[in-house]
Amino acid sequence: MQSIATVYFLTLRSLREAVRNPAQEAGNVLIPLFFFAVTVGSIGSIAADAFGIDNFTGFQVPVAILAAASSISASAGLGTITDIQRGYFDKLLLTPAPRSAIVFGRIAADGVRTVAITAFIVGVGLIFGTGFDTGVPGLLVLLVGSFGFGMAYSGFNAAIALRTGSPQAAAAGGLLLFPLIFLSTAFAPKDVFADWLEVLATINPITYVLEAQRSLIIEGWNGFDILWGATATLGFSVASFTLTFLALRWRTS
């Protein structure tokens, strides 16, 4: 009970911080949208012929969502470090609130921010004619998923922040997740990949998150893809939160 209240209050605090720093939030959404526009603009017209993707704009929407999530979580890692450097983190640790709940408050806030940015990016996609094949229920599924991997991403960055306390490491940590996007089926389906890339894309959990999101947007209900996406997100979260927890234990012992 006390844990839930703690997470709730600290989530509110982090969201307030985000709202008061609109420039940073704008960066989180504009950079992925820039890549989105450039990718679609450069290879969108040949995608149908080259690898049989008719709705390449819709195909790219999840890439923008994941890129935005990774940039959100990097900024949250920095927030944690600022708290540590200012001594505010100590002030929170000096309350009787459960310590893992203190860290989780910011992670949950990142989940919420990822949901908001997902909705925004889907909206931009709709304007550019991506459509949304599974309608409102599908959108809800997508948003729930976004909440999940937004938190998973954030957990990794929180772990790095807690373990290193260094802004440089936190910035690098945000970049760590970026290559995972490139090593997935972000720009083309797997069947056109070289063998080595196909192997990497197959073992990369991001691939399954992407595919699940894509199925909702451009394909229609596909239980198999959704299940795999959910499993990948869950596995990613377990790994991420374990690291966060270990890093917190290290910092407070």
Binders in 83-142 for another protein, by CB under 8 A: 83, 86-97
> According to the binding rule CB under 8 A, does residue 249 interact with another protein?
no
Closest by CA position to 108, among listed 252, 246, 253, 244: 244
**Closest separation between CB of residue 223 and another protein, Å?**
42
By CB under 8 A, the count of residues binding another protein is 25
Nearer to another protein, 42 or 253 (CB): 253
| Choice between 75 and 215, CB closer to another protein | 75
Shortest distance (Å) from residue 84 CB to another protein: 10
**Residue 13 within binding range of another protein, rule CB under 8 A:** yes
Q: How far is the CB of 87 from another protein (least distance, A)?
A: 3
Q: What are phi and psi of 96, to 5 degrees?
A: -75, 5
Region near another protein per CB under 8 A, out of 3-11, 38-46, 51-59, 222-230: 3-11
172 binds another protein (CB under 8 A): no
Binding site for another protein (CB under 8 A): 2, 5-6, 9-10, 13, 16-17, 20-21, 83, 86-97, 252-253
